[in-house]
């Protein structure tokens, strides 16, 4: 646990991507199996210890520390694991009083526990560790590392450490289970390269750069709509189907009707959507038929889906690309070839569950600009531009695919509440709830944002919150309703879960409007006119 704690410590205080890669690579080369495999599982979000929940950790510290002291400390620190690690009565770093606890031993033991056994076992482990190790164990157990490392970056570090191709690592990753012994055997020359030939594994998505050039030639690039759902990969191999999210998470159980309908061997890339109300169970066709992202949210995150939800929010996939046709790998083929193969492949699919994303017919880029400007469908996020001769390659490659999002909507809203952030922002009030004026002259919350501002603006906003506080509710402060924030958002939808009846999609702070009186801020009636 000591080495893993040192790794987390170095990653937390390192901003440089190359330095993070170096720290992870050095750890993987110096650490034996199975500890390094479990560390990779933690860094990539592949570790699940269901018996350890945040409530259990809070209950344990309440037995060893004054609950008021913990609450005050948690409010200031902004992170439960860090607060518990510091307050827990145990050995201090380096005094040698704790018995070493290997990472593999900790994970294996915690993974085998039931809810009844977990408190005593976890407490005994914490008693053996110093503060840094306790922090590492608690972060690992709850799955909330927050060290600025994506799954892709961790896999890149592994590839660089052992001279492997990162796409080859990604190709077999989801066919292996932690602690990834076959992967490290291959990396160190003790075993053959793992293969995904007969497994429904995840392949890395091809991603797009934001469009920053003024013009692209439509002779070289094809245009299609960028739909506002969630990117998914459909895989059917040897009679087994899997649906993967962009992060590589298996979401098959959340969308059983789609998985059951995809029974043709191959791998497809597309956008998961739900049908609009008017569309119902009708054939999708190449047109719209998709509801807003707000409707799709009713399906997200569910491990089991009730029949009522399946009927009210039927899912389908709008297909973008094809990676495999049967066992044939098409990723090296140009986009034009893959598009033709995709259209042919889709003819055998259930039209209730699958259609192909239509291309946008435009004579030139200026015409495409006009088409994009007029698109305000709830399900359209913008335009994709794909180079016609591009292969399907993992990650973002310059010059191949571009995303050209539609211009955001904006509204001037009034700051109502602020909450402390977490991690590096735990000392600042950085999460802002803002509202619009209702018909009876009251402010009602319409959204919450925690990005879009600079570091200097964050400091200014933090001072404003502290100097204009009306009430305190734990980590949340209610402020004087005098500050106007210009909020940018992608779309706005009706919502029964919010008191205002509205929910913004991707709100962010565009600027601070110190020049505008709060009384002149946006109204709910004005926002409702923007609902799509």
Structure tokens at 298: 């009713």
Predicted local distance difference test score (pLDDT) of residue 69: 92
Mean pLDDT of all residues in 390-396: 93
Predicted local distance difference test score (pLDDT) of residue 110: 94
Predicted local distance difference test score (pLDDT) of residue 279: 40
- Answer for the pair 43, 179: CB distance below 8 angstroms, yes or no: no
Mean pLDDT of all residues in 431-449: 92
Predicted local distance difference test score (pLDDT) of residue 278: 39
- Could you tell me which residue, 212 or 256, shows the higher pLDDT? 256
Beta-carbon-side half-sphere exposure of residue 2 (alpha carbons within 13 Å): 10
* 234-278 confidence digits (pLDDT tens): 999 999 999 999 878 889 989 999 999 999 999 999 999 998 753
Distance separating alpha carbons of residues 3 and 9, to the nearest angstrom: 10
* 143-179 confidence digits (pLDDT tens): 878 788 888 899 999 999 999 998 889 888 878 889 9
pLDDT-based confidence at residue 339 (cuts at 50, 70, 90): very high
Of residues 340, 226, 344, 206, the one with CA closest to residue 269: 206
Burial of 429 (0-12, 13-18, 19+ CB in 10 A): buried
Burial 351-362 (b: 16+ CB within 10 A, else e): eebbbbbeebeb
| H helix intervals, 112-246 | 118-128, 131-142, 151-162, 166-173, 181-187
Q: Assess whether pLDDT exceeds 90 at residue 301.
A: no
Predicted local distance difference test score (pLDDT) of residue 283: 43
Mean pLDDT, the chain, as a whole number?
89
Distance separating alpha carbons of residues 166 and 395, to the nearest angstrom: 11
Angle between helices 54-64 and 131-142 (to 10 degrees): 150
Distance separating alpha carbons of residues 357 and 224, to the nearest angstrom: 7
Mean pLDDT of all residues in 210-236: 90
Which letter does DSSP use for residue 211 in this model? P
Mean pLDDT of all residues in 387-401: 93
Vertex 225: Cα angle to 222 and 228 (nearest 5): 145
Mean pLDDT of all residues in 515-530: 92
Residue ranges of domains in the chain, CATH in brackets: 206-405 (3.30.470.30), 409-528 (2.40.50.140)
Predicted local distance difference test score (pLDDT) of residue 376: 62
Predicted local distance difference test score (pLDDT) of residue 247: 78
Predicted local distance difference test score (pLDDT) of residue 91: 63
H/E element, 273: strand 266-274
| Residue 490 CA from chain centroid, whole number | 17
Q: How far apart are the first and last CA of the chain?
A: 51
Q: Where do we find the tokens 């030639």?
A: 217
Q: Assess whether pLDDT exceeds 50 at residue 284.
A: no
Predicted local distance difference test score (pLDDT) of residue 98: 59
Predicted local distance difference test score (pLDDT) of residue 305: 87
Composition of the chain by helix, strand, coil, percent to 5: 35, 25, 40
Q: Assess whether pLDDT exceeds 90 at residue 48.
A: no
- Could you tell me which residue, 342 or 215, shows the higher pLDDT? 342
Catalytic site positions = 226
How far are the Cα atoms of 325, 411, 436, 439, 515 from residue 520, in angstroms, in the given order? 57, 11, 10, 14, 11
| Residue 15 CA from chain centroid, whole number | 20
Q: Assess whether pLDDT exceeds 80 at residue 377.
A: no
Which letter does DSSP use for residue 243 in this model? E
Predicted local distance difference test score (pLDDT) of residue 463: 94
Beta-carbon-side half-sphere exposure of residue 186 (alpha carbons within 13 Å): 18
Distance separating alpha carbons of residues 175 and 171, to the nearest angstrom: 8
How far are the Cα atoms of 79, 165, 364, 379 from residue 230, in angstroms, in the given order? 29, 28, 29, 11
Mean pLDDT of all residues in 471-476: 86
pLDDT-based confidence at residue 206 (cuts at 50, 70, 90): very high
Query: Per mean pLDDT, which range of 198-202, 232-236, 436-440 is the poorest?
Result: 198-202
């Amino acid at each position: 646990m000591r080495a893993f704690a040192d790794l987390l410590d170095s990653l937390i205080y390192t901003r440089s991507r190359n330095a993070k890669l170096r720290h992870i690579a050095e750890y993987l080369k110096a650490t034996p199996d199975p500890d390094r495999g479990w560390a990779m599982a933690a860094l990539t979000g592949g570790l699940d210890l269901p018996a350890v929940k945040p409530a259990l950790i809070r209950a344990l510290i309440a037995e060893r520390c004054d609950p008021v002291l913990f609450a005050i400390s948690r409010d200031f620190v902004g992170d439960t694991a860090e607060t518990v690690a510091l307050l827990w009565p145990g050995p201090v770093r380096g005094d040698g009083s704790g018995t070493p606890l290997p990472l593999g031993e900790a994970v294996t033991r915690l993974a085998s526990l039931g809810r009844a056994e977990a408190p005593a076992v976890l407490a005994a482990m914490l008693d053996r560790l110093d503060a840094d190790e306790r922090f590492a164990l608690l972060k690992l157990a709850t799955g909330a590392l927050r060290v600025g490392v994506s799954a892709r970056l961790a896999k890149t570090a592994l590839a660089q450490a052992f001279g492997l191709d990162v796409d080859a690592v990604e190709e077999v990753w989801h066919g292996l289970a932690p602690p990834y012994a076959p992967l490290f055997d291959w990396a160190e020359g003790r075993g053959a390269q793992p293969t995904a030939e007969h497994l429904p594994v995840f392949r890395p998505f091809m991603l797009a750069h934001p469009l920053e050039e003024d013009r692209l030639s439509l002779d070289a690039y094809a245009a299609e709509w960028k739909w506002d759902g969630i990117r998914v990969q459909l895989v059917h191999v040897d009679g087994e189907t899997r649906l993967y999210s962009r992060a590589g998470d298996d979401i098959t159980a959340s969308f059983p009707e789609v998985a059951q309908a995809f029974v043709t061997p191959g791998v497809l890339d597309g956008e998961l959507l739900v049908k609009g109300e008017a569309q119902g169970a009708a054939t999708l066709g190449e047109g719209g038929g998709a509801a807003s992202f707000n409707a799709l949210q009713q399906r997200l995150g569910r491990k089991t889906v009730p029949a009522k939800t399946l009927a009210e929010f039927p899912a389908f996939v709008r297909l973008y690309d094809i990676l495999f046709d049967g066992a044939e790998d098409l990723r090296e083929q140009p986009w034009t070839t893959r598009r033709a193969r995709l259209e042919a492949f889709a003819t055998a699919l259930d039209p209730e569950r699958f259609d192909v994303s239509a291309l946008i017919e435009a004579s030139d880029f200026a015409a495409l600009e006009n088409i994009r400007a007029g698109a305000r469908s709830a399900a359209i996020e913008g335009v994709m531009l794909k180079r016609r001769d591009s292969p399907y390659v993992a990650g973002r490659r310059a010059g191949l695919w571009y995303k050209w999002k539609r211009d955001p909507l904006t509204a001037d809203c009034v700051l109502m509440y602020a909450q402390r952030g977490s991690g590096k922002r735990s000392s600042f009030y950085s999460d802002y709830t803002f509202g619009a004026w209702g018909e009876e002259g009251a402010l009602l919350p319409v959204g919450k944002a925690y990005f879009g501002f600079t570091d200097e603006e964050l400091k200014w906003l933090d001072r404003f919150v502290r100097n204009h506080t009306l009430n305190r509710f734990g980590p949340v402060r209610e402020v004087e309703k005098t500050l106007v924030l210009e909020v940018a958002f992608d779309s706005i939808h009706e919502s029964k879960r919010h008191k205002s009846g509205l929910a913004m999609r991707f709100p962010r702070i565009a600027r601070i409007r110190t020049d505008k009186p709060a009384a002149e801020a946006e109204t709910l009636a004005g926002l409702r006119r923007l609902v799509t």
